[in-house]
Amino acid sequence: MVITEGAHGIRMKTRLQSGDALIIVDMQNDFLPGGSLPVTAGKKIIPVINQYIVNFQSRGLPIVATRDWHPENHCSFESNGGPWPSHCVAHTEGAAFPAALELPDNATIISKATTQEKDAYSAFSGTQLNEMLQSRNIKRLFVSGLATEYCVLSTVEDAIRLHYKTFILTDAVCAINQQPDDGRNALLKMQRIGVVPVNHEEIE
Ligand code: VGL
Ligand code: ZN
């Protein structure tokens, strides 16, 4: 952490370092306008995430993109008694990353909730994410993506439980907000367990 003083007063900055990784949660077509389970304002975070990608990539820091990757008959779908419309069926356009998301070729892709009988909001649930991060000596996670109160919240809760220093990128997440305060409440819940909120101006 460094403290800089400028025209806008004292500002604390978090300096990226080796052992940091960028996590992009479920930036997929079905969670964006035009998809089957759209986060209304989801598109506006794509350019912000692209900026974080450039920042992490230029320092040689790992970038992980997670994706919901469901079978056609997934248990979370309304047709199977679940809470959600059909979404992110593996290998469909809805499950694909949007063309505007500038993922580098060396990004690690983590697929989750890939079997009929299990749902998984957290990117750590039923995946190799923790092992992959451990093998690369990652200590701090900077988490972005969709949706703030579901898969992002669940992912950062597991990250804290697994003892990662965890930052939430507040300008690069977006909520579904079925209730108007769902996203805001999720961010407060994260902070109560030790997650640090930062935006692009607070990172260098
Ligand atoms: C998600 C609902 C259902 C998410 C995934 O990525 O937040 N939400 N499946
Ligand atoms: Zn899902």
Residue type, 73: N
Q: Which one is catalytic: 30, 151, 158, 171?
A: 151
| Ligand 1 atom nearest to CA at 149 | 7
Check residue 28 and give its pLDDT.
98
- CATH (one of 3.40.50.850, 2.40.160.210, 3.40.50.300, 3.40.50.720) for 17-202: 3.40.50.850
**Residue 146: strand pairing partners:** 174
- The answer to whether 67 and 112 have CB atoms below 8 angstroms apart is yes
Cβ of 84 below 6 Å from ligand 1: yes
Complex ipTM > 0.85:
yes
Q: Which residue is closest in CA terms to ligand 1's atom 3?
A: 84
Residue 29 in contact with residue 94, Cβ under 8 Å? yes
Residue 35 CB: number of other CB atoms within 10 A? 19
pLDDT in tens, 4-38: 555 556 668 999 999 999 999 999 999 999 999 99
* Contact between 202 and 170 (Cβ < 8 Å): no
Question: In this predicted structure, what is the pLDDT of residue 9?
Answer: 63
Q: pTM of the predicted model, to two decimals?
A: 0.95
What DSSP line would sit under 25-51, residue for residue? E---GGGSTTSSS--TTGGGGHHHHHH
Domain edges within the chain: 17-202
Tell me the ligand closest to 71's alpha carbon: 2
The pLDDT score that the predictor gives to residue 12 is 82
Average pLDDT over residues 81-86: 97
Of 104, 105, 110, residue with least CA distance to 53: 104
